[in-house]
C-alpha cells in the first residue's frame, strides 16, 4: 500500500446546459468532479483548498474512517467547515474496503455540483470475485438546476414550502437530448463487440432516486456500496442518492447505438421532475447518428421494478468476503423517519407553518461547533445524549396520522458502547407523504436483514430476518409506508451522522448522530485531530 496525494481546489467555473449558463462551485473546475483512485490499504491525503465565498467541507461517502472521524467531512458534525481562503488535508486509510463510492460536499446544497467518484481498486494481485471486465467506466448520475441551488433551498426555507425540483437529470454531467437545448449534449459510451464493461454507477443527485437501464442489454449486478454481492442479471437497477452499483454489461447485441437512460423513482403521489437523462452505448463501427434501439423507462411510481432489484440483493458471503452479520443484539432500536410540520409565523406562503422532517420526532438542529470536537474536547452545551431509542408515541404508521404533527427540535445523539451490536428498525411514518427515504449511516457498513410494508411487528417480523447473507451497504431505502431492519457493530469510535440522503429532507431535519465511545484496547480510540482541523 502507498500514500496517495490529491489536491482539490474548490473553484467557480462557468457551465452551460439546457441553453443557459451559470457559475457553479466545482472541484478543479470539473462537473462532475475528478475521480479519486486508490487501492485497498492505501492512505489518501486530499488537500482541499477553498477558493470560493462559501464555506466548504468534503465527505468521502462510505469510507469507514476507522478512528479517523476527523476526515469524515459532514460540516458541524465531524469538523467545522473550511472557510473561504482556508484549506484542510483529509487524511484517511482505506481499510477492508474495495469498490465504488463517491465523494461530495457536505454542507448545505453544495453537493449539487461538488461531487465525484471514489474508486477503490483491490490490493495488487487480488482479483475481482467475478470475471475481469475488459474495461471499467465511471457513470455519475446527477441533476442539473438552471438556478443556483443555494438560492433554491434558502427560498424554500423562507417560504415554508417544498423547494423546486431540478431542471434535468444528468449522466456524467450531460442531460442527453431531452430538449432542443441539449440535443448535442449527451454522454457516449463506446463499446466493442464481444467485450465486457464494468459500469461503476453512482447516484450523486440531490433529491432523486434513479432507475438506470440500457436498451437491449442485461446488467449483471456484482457490487453495491463497495461490497460484493451474489451476481444476478436484471434489466433495470435502482440507485438512490449516495448509493453506488457496479454492473457488468457485455456488448453482445447487433452493432448499433443503444439508449442508456436514468429516470426518477418516486413511489408517492408527489410530482417530481420526470425528465429522463439519456446517453448512448455506441458499438464501434456504427455510423447512425441517433440511437437505433430505444427503451421504455419505468414509470415514476414503478415500485415493483424497484422491489425486483432491491429484493435480489444478497451479500456474496464467500470464504474470502464473509458476511459478518452480528448474531446478537445489544441495542434494539426503532426509529421513525418522515416528515412533519412546525409553526413558522414568518412563513407567509406556508400559511404560518413549514415542512420539517424528523427521526423519532426529533428535528435535528445543526450545532455551531462540530459535534466531534465537542465530544473530544469535552465542550459542554453543544449536544445532548438523550436521543430516544424508541418512538415517543406509537401509532399506526399506515393508518390515520396523529392529529399533532409537530416535532421537537434538538441536537441529540444516541450513545453506543464500543463494539456493541445494534439492530435498528427504520419505520417510514407515512405522515404527509409516504415516501421512500434513502438513509445513510456514516462510519459503518450495515447489513439489511429485513424489510416490509406497513407497521413493523417486533414479535413476528424478526422471524423472517436474513442473518446469513443480507446485503451490506451504507445507504438504504426505507420503503414508502414500510420499514427496514439493519444491523451493525459499533466498532468505530467517534460521532457518526445518519440522515436521509434526499437533501431536502436532510435540510428539514431528517438527521441524527450516533456517538460511539472509545474502547479500552490499544487501537480502539478515536485518534487526536490533525493540527489543521478548521475552526468554527
- The residue (of 110 and 279) whose beta carbon lies closer to ligand C2O is 110
- With contact defined as beta carbons under 8 Å apart, do 526 and 492 qualify? no
- The residue (of 160 and 242) whose beta carbon lies closer to ligand C2O is 242
Residue nearest to ligand C2O (CB): 61
> Phi, psi at residue 193, to the nearest 5°?
-50, 130
Among 61, 200, 487, 505, interactor with ligand C2O by CB under 6 A: 61
Cα distance between residue 449 and residue 458, in whole Å: 14
- Residue 510 CB, shortest distance to ligand C2O, in Å, is 11
Per-residue binding letters, 472-511, with ligand C2O (x by CB under 6 A): -------------------------x-x-x----------
- With contact defined as beta carbons under 8 Å apart, do 52 and 10 qualify? yes
320 vs 96, 127, 313, CA distance in Å?
A: 11, 11, 18
Among 39, 98, 106, 473, interactor with ligand C2O by CB under 6 A: 106
- Residue 287 CB, shortest distance to ligand C2O, in Å, is 41
Per-residue binding letters, 310-349, with ligand C2O (x by CB under 6 A): ----------------------------------------
Which residues, in sequence order, are bridge partners of residue 48?
8, 88
Q: Does 242 bind ligand C2O (CB under 6 A)?
A: yes
Per-residue binding letters, 205-224, with ligand C2O (x by CB under 6 A): --------------------
- The residue (of 174 and 442) whose beta carbon lies closer to ligand C2O is 442
Q: Max Cα separation, the chain? A: 67
- With contact defined as beta carbons under 8 Å apart, do 335 and 414 qualify? no
SS3 call for 65: coil
Pairing of strands 135-144, 482-489: unpaired
Closest CA to 179 of 17, 370, 52: 17
- Residue 375 CB, shortest distance to ligand C2O, in Å, is 18
Question: Binding to ligand C2O (CB under 6 A): which residues in 70-99?
Answer: 74
Cell 428498525 belongs to residue: 425
- The residue (of 31 and 397) whose beta carbon lies closer to ligand C2O is 31
Strands (E) in 62-185, as ranges, are 87-93, 99-105, 115-121, 135-144, 168-171
What number of chain residues touch ligand C2O (CB under 6 A)?
Answer: 11
- The residue (of 106 and 213) whose beta carbon lies closer to ligand C2O is 106
Cell numbers describing residue 241: 442518492
Q: What share of the chain is helix, strand, coil (3-state, %, to 5)?
A: 10, 40, 50
Cell 409516504 belongs to residue: 434
- Residue 242 CB, shortest distance to ligand C2O, in Å, is 4
Question: Binding to ligand C2O (CB under 6 A): which residues in 405-444?
Answer: 440, 442
Closest CA to 166 of 536, 522, 502, 459: 502
- The residue (of 107 and 305) whose beta carbon lies closer to ligand C2O is 107
- The residue (of 325 and 510) whose beta carbon lies closer to ligand C2O is 510
8-state DSSP, 184: T
Residues that bind ligand C2O (CB under 6 A): 59, 61, 74, 104, 106, 242, 440, 442, 497, 499, 501
Amino acid at each position: 500500500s502507498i500514500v496517495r496525494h490529491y489536491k482539490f481546489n474548490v473553484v467557480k467555473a462557468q457551465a452551460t446546459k439546457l441553453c443557459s449558463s451559470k457559475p457553479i462551485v466545482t472541484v478543479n473546475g470539473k462537473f462532475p468532479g475528478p475521480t479519486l483512485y486508490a487501492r485497498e490499504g492505501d492512505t489518501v491525503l486530499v488537500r482541499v483548498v477553498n477558493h470560493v465565498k462559501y464555506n466548504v467541507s468534503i465527505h468521502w461517502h462510505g469510507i469507514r474512517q476507522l478512528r479517523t472521524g476527523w476526515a469524515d467531512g459532514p460540516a458541524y458534525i465531524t469538523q467545522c467547515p473550511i472557510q473561504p481562503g482556508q484549506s484542510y488535508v483529509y487524511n484517511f486509510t482505506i481499510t477492508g474496503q474495495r469498490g465504488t463510492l463517491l465523494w461530495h460536499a457536505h454542507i448545505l446544497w453544495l453537493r449539487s455540483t461538488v461531487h465525484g467518484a471514489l474508486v477503490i481498486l483491490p490490493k495488487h494481485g487480488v482479483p475481482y470475485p467475478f470475471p475481469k471486465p475488459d474495461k471499467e467506466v465511471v457513470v455519475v448520475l446527477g441533476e442539473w438546476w438552471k438556478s443556483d441551488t443555494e438560492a433554491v433551498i434558502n427560498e424554500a426555507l423562507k417560504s415554508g414550502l417544498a423547494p423546486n425540483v431540478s431542471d434535468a437529470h444528468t449522466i456524467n454531467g450531460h442531460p442527453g437530448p431531452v430538449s432542443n437545448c441539449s440535443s448535442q449534449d449527451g454522454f457516449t459510451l463506446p463499446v466493442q463487440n464481444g467485450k465486457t464493461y464494468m459500469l461503476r454507477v453512482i447516484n450523486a443527485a440531490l433529491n432523486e432516486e434513479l432507475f438506470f437501464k440500457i436498451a437491449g442489454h442485461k446488467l449483471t449486478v456484482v457490487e453495491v456500496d463497495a461490497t460484493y454481492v451474489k451476481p444476478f442479471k436484471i434489466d433495470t437497477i435502482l440507485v438512490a442518492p449516495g448509493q453506488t452499483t457496479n454492473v457488468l454489461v457485455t456488448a453482445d447485441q447487433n452493432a448499433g447505438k443503444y439508449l442508456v437512460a436514468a429516470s426518477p423513482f418516486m413511489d408517492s403521489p408527489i410530482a417530481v421532475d420526470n425528465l429522463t437523462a439519456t446517453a448512448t452505448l455506441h458499438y464501434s463501427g456504427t455510423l447512425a447518428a441517433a440511437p437505433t434501439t430505444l427503451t421504455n423507462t419505468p414509470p415514476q411510481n414503478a415500485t415493483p421494478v424497484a422491489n425486483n432489484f432491491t429484493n435480489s440483493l444478497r451479500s456474496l458471503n464467500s470464504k474470502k468476503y464473509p458476511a459478518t452479520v452480528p448474531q446478537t443484539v445489544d441495542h434494539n432500536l426503532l426509529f421513525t423517519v418522515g416528515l412533519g410540520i412546525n409553526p413558522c409565523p414568518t412563513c407567509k406562503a406556508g400559511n404560518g407553518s413549514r415542512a420539517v422532517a424528523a427521526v423519532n420526532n426529533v428535528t435535528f438542529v445543526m450545532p455551531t461547533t462540530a459535534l466531534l470536537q465537542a465530544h473530544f474536547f469535552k465542550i459542554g452545551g453543544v449536544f445532548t445524549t438523550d436521543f430516544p431509542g424508541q418512538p415517543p408515541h406509537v401509532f399506526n404508521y399506515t393508518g390515520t396520522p396523529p392529529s399533532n404533527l409537530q416535532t421537537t427540535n434538538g441536537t441529540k445523539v444516541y450513545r453506543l458502547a464500543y463494539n456493541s451490536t445494534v439492530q435498528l428498525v427504520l419505520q417510514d411514518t407515512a405522515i404527509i407523504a409516504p415516501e421512500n427515504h434513502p438513509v445513510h449511516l456514516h462510519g459503518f457498513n450495515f447489513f439489511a436483514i429485513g424489510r416490509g410494508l406497513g407497521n413493523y411487528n417486533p414479535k413476528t417480523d424478526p422471524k423472517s430476518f436474513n442473518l446469513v447473507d443480507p446485503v451490506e451497504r451504507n445507504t438504504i431505502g426505507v420503503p414508502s409506508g414500510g420499514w427496514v431492519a439493519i444491523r451493525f457493530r459499533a466498532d468505530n469510535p467517534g460521532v457518526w451522522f445518519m440522515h436521509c440522503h434526499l437533501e431536502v429532507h436532510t435540510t428539514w431535519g431528517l438527521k441524527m448522530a450516533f456517538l460511539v465511545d472509545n474502547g479500552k484496547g490499544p487501537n480502539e480510540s478515536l485518534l487526536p485531530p490533525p493540527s489543521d482541523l478548521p475552526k468554527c
